[in-house]
């Protein structure tokens, strides 16, 4: 039993989906429940860290002892992250940020009349890559959820986004990943990787944090 291995650390976590407004009553989003991010925030708090959780819209209760910042869109999540990041030791980007948003959200409800409706989308800002490219970034951990070539894509993302660590989880398998209680994780960093077999997200969160803190301490960035 090792008590409070994150005492004295500030941890920032993003969680949940974002919503990108089409018009005042419609949005684009995804199936993220926020459970993995909430589990990580809770485990970090229990391990002694000072935790801020920046969350998109989810159906989960706020966590005792964790500072919650609720946001709606990718743009709002980016702004919230940037106001917090300077004092943070470890940044864990668990959020399933929408990749695209309507280029021109409508100020009024779109009325149905035509048979087709075309909406032009544009890329949202990449919050994780923005943080990792800061002059003095925190220890930065990303997630990669993929249906195919999981490990290859995850390693590519680790390098492309200049991350310290990436956590790969398969999607499209019944019972794990998006909108599930359980998950199965591969953790990759520049030199090595480790597998965390299928387990409850709450359990995986603890194991993941132990790997993060070991790598962080070895990285010489303290």
The answer to the question of whether 109 is labelled as a binding residue is yes
For ligand C5P, the binding residue among 33, 124, 140, 183 (CB under 6 A) is 124
Which of these segments, 61-69, 118-126, 180-188, 191-199, binds ligand C5P (CB under 6 A)? 118-126
Q: Considering the rule CB under 6 A, would residue 90 count as an interface residue with ligand C5P?
A: no
Minimum CB separation of residue 167 from ligand C5P in Å reads 8
The answer to the question of whether 111 is labelled as a binding residue is no
Alpha helices in 52-149 (DSSP H): 74-84, 127-132
The answer to the question of whether 57 is labelled as a binding residue is no
Nearer to ligand C5P, 48 or 207 (CB): 207
x/- contact string, 19-38, with ligand C5P (CB under 6 A)? --------------------
Map tokens 């993929």 to a residue. Answer: 146
Q: Considering the rule CB under 6 A, would residue 95 count as an interface residue with ligand C5P?
A: yes
For ligand C5P, the binding residue among 66, 74, 80, 208 (CB under 6 A) is 74
| Structural tokens at position 1 | 């039993």
Instruction: Output 215-219 pairs: Cβ under 8 A, ≥24 positions apart.
Output: 215/139, 215/164, 215/165, 215/189, 216/89, 216/90, 216/139, 216/164, 219/139, 219/164
Q: Considering the rule CB under 6 A, would residue 39 count as an interface residue with ligand C5P?
A: no
In whole angstroms, give the CA distance from residue 218 to residue 149.
29
DSSP string, 180-199: SSEEEEEEE-SS-EEEEEEE
Vertex 214 angle, CA 78 and 187, to 5°: 60
Which of left, alpha, beta for 189 (phi over 0: left; psi -120 to 50: alpha)?
Answer: beta
Q: Considering the rule CB under 6 A, would residue 40 count as an interface residue with ligand C5P?
A: no
Q: Considering the rule CB under 6 A, would residue 127 count as an interface residue with ligand C5P?
A: yes
Distances (CA, A) of 137 to 52, 108, 133, 189, 221: 16, 40, 7, 16, 10
Q: Considering the rule CB under 6 A, would residue 128 count as an interface residue with ligand C5P?
A: yes
| Structural tokens at position 222 | 């303290």
Q: 169 an active-site residue?
A: no
Contact between residue 142 and residue 166 where contact means Cβ atoms under 8 Å apart:
yes
The answer to the question of whether 179 is labelled as a binding residue is no
Minimum CB separation of residue 94 from ligand C5P in Å reads 6
Nearer to ligand C5P, 127 or 213 (CB): 127
The answer to the question of whether 161 is labelled as a binding residue is yes
- List interacting residues with ligand C5P (CB under 6 A): 14, 74, 93-95, 97, 99, 124-128, 142-144, 157
> Binding site residues for CTP, as ranges?
99, 109, 125-128, 143, 157, 161
């Amino acid at each position: 039993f090792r008590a409070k291995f994150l005492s004295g650390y500030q941890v920032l976590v993003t969680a949940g989906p974002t919503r990108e407004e089409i018009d005042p009553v419609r949005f684009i989003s995804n199936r993220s429940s926020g459970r993995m991010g909430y589990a990580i925030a809770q485990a970090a708090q229990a391990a002694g860290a000072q935790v801020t959780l920046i969350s998109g819209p989810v159906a989960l209760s706020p966590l005792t002892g964790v500072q919650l910042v609720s946001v709606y869109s990718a743009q709002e999540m980016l702004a919230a992250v940037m106001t917090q990041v300077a004092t943070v030791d470890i940044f864990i980007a668990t959020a399933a940020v929408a990749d695209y948003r309507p280029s021109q959200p409508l100020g009024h409800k779109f009325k149905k009349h035509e048979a087709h409706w075309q909406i032009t989308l544009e890329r949202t800002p990449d919050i994780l890559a923005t943080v990792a490219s800061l002059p003095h970034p925190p220890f930065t951990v990303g997630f990669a959820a993929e249906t195919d070539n999981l490990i290859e894509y995850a390693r590519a993302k680790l390098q492309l986004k200049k991350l310290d660590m990436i956590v790969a989880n398969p999607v499209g398998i019944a019972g794990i990943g998006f909108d599930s209680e359980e998950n199965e994780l591969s953790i990759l960093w520049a030199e090595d990787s480790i597998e965390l077999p299928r387990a409850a997200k709450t359990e995986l969160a603890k194991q993941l944090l132990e790997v993060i803190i070991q790598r962080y301490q070895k990285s010489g960035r303290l």
